[in-house]
């Protein structure tokens, strides 16, 4: 059993748990190298990797902020490494049944990257697919205050339903420190993971340091809700297609 009863209770109450050293350093090294490769792929070298570029509000430069749609049929070796028995076991304990991958993304929070405003993931149109998801955030580079570590609502004082209209963040503030009383900053090391549900409010400030930080986000739904990934991405390409360095978006849209 990967999780204790206490960890499960904490997850149910607060909507997140942190598991230190969940992924070993050998695996983190392999994943880190893979993220470097993904960062450099182009539409010629990889037709499926969906890259998203934005103009930095801090420097004005166009920068890569995320890559999606890179597991399963596209990279069996890395998929096996990430979706291993330990991960499936932990998610099964949290869901109460086996998980299915819904979506996967890497956030490249490079120097100059804009804030991720406080939000609930479920507000990003996910209700169309299921009413409950769990995301596993795998820390690849140290997450520290200076390079925009994530903040999570720590009071358990949130609704397991939408607290704002769909497609809206919970606040337009990019300085998330206003919420410090209720929120905790999670500094974390490579190999630590955060499991969080789709309703717990979270976000991160802009990265105004010169230290990048990459986190992998794997989102799952319950097997009883079906395999939704292909439909999710088919829909997403219609409304929010990937772009390239020359066609970076402005950083004011709320998408997760
Ligand atoms: O990586 C981050 O700082 C923010 C992640 C997040 O909240 C998201 O992508 O939904």
Give the number of other Cβ atoms within 10 Å of residue 83's Cβ.
Answer: 19
User: Does residue 254 fall inside a structural domain?
Assistant: no
Is residue 68 in contact with ligand 1, taking CB distance under 6 Å?
no
Q: Is residue 252 part of a domain?
A: no
C-alpha 246: how far from its chain's center? 25
Q: Are 176 and 183 in contact (CB under 8 A)?
A: yes
Tokens 């490579």 sit at which residue? 190
> Alpha carbon 22 to chain centroid distance?
17
* 65: containing domain: 5-247
Using one digit for the tens of pLDDT, what is the confidence trace for 177-202? 666 789 999 999 999 999 999 999 99
199 in a structural domain: yes
Position 52 in a domain = yes
Q: What is the pLDDT along the chain (256 residues), one digit of tens a residue?
A: 689 999 999 999 999 999 999 999 999 999 999 999 999 998 888 889 999 999 999 999 999 999 999 998 889 999 999 999 999 999 999 999 999 999 999 999 999 999 999 999 999 999 999 999 999 999 999 999 999 999 999 988 899 999 999 999 998 887 776 667 899 999 999 999 999 999 999 999 999 999 999 999 999 999 999 999 999 999 999 999 999 999 999 876 677 8
In a domain, 255, yes or no: no
Does the CB atom of residue 121 touch ligand 1 within 6 A?
Answer: yes
| Residue 215 Cβ contacting ligand 1 at under 6 Å | yes
Q: What is the CATH number of the domain that holds 172?
A: 2.60.120.620
Domain total of the chain: 1
Atom of ligand 1 nearest to the CA of 150: 3
Assess if residue 188 is contained within a domain. yes
Is any atom of ligand 1 closer than 6 Å to the C-beta of 100? no
Give nearest CA residue, ligand 1 atom 7.
203
Which atom of ligand 1 lies at the shortest distance from residue 124's CA?
10
Paired tokens of 230: 């292909």
- Cα(249) to centroid(ligand 1), Å: 17
- Mapped onto helix, strand or coil, the DSSP state of residue 236 is helix
Domain membership of residue 256 (yes or no) is: no
Identify the CA nearest to 213 among candidates 134, 150, 152, 142: 142
For the question of whether the overall pTM of this predicted structure is more than 0.75, the answer is: yes
Query: Are 201 and 158 within 8 A, CB to CB?
Result: yes
In this structure, is residue 144 part of a structural domain?
A: yes
């Amino acid at each position: 059993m990967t999780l204790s009863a206490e960890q499960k209770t904490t997850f149910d109450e607060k909507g997140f748990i942190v598991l230190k050293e969940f992924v070993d350093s050998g695996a983190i090294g392999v994943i880190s190298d893979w993220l470097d490769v993904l960062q450099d792929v182009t539409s010629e070298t990889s037709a499926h990797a969906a890259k998203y570029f934005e103009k930095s509000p801090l420097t004005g430069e166009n920068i890569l902020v995320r890559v999606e749609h890179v597991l399963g049929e596209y990279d069996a070796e890395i998929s096996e490494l990430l979706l291993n028995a330990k991960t499936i076991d932990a998610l099964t304990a949290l869901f109460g049944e086996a998980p299915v991958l819904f979506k996967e993304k890497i956030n490249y929070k490079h120097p100059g990257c804009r804030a991720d405003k406080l939000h609930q993931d479920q507000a990003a149109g996910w209700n169309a697919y299921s009413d409950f998801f769990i995301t596993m955030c795998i820390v690849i580079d140290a997450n520290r205050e200076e390079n925009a570590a994530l903040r999570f609502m720590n009071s358990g004082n949130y609704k397991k339903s939408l607290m704002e209209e769909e497609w809206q963040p919970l606040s337009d503030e990019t300085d998330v420190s206003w919420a410090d009383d209720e929120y905790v900053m999670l500094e974390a090391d490579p190999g630590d993971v955060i499991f969080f549900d789709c309703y717990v409010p979270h976000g991160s400030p802009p990265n105004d340091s010169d230290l990048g930080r990459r986190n992998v986000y794997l989102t799952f739904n319950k097997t009883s809700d079906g395999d939704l990934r292909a439909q999710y991405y088919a829909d997403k390409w219609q409304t929010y297609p990937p772009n390239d360095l020359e066609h970076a978006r402005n950083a004011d849209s709320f998408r997760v």
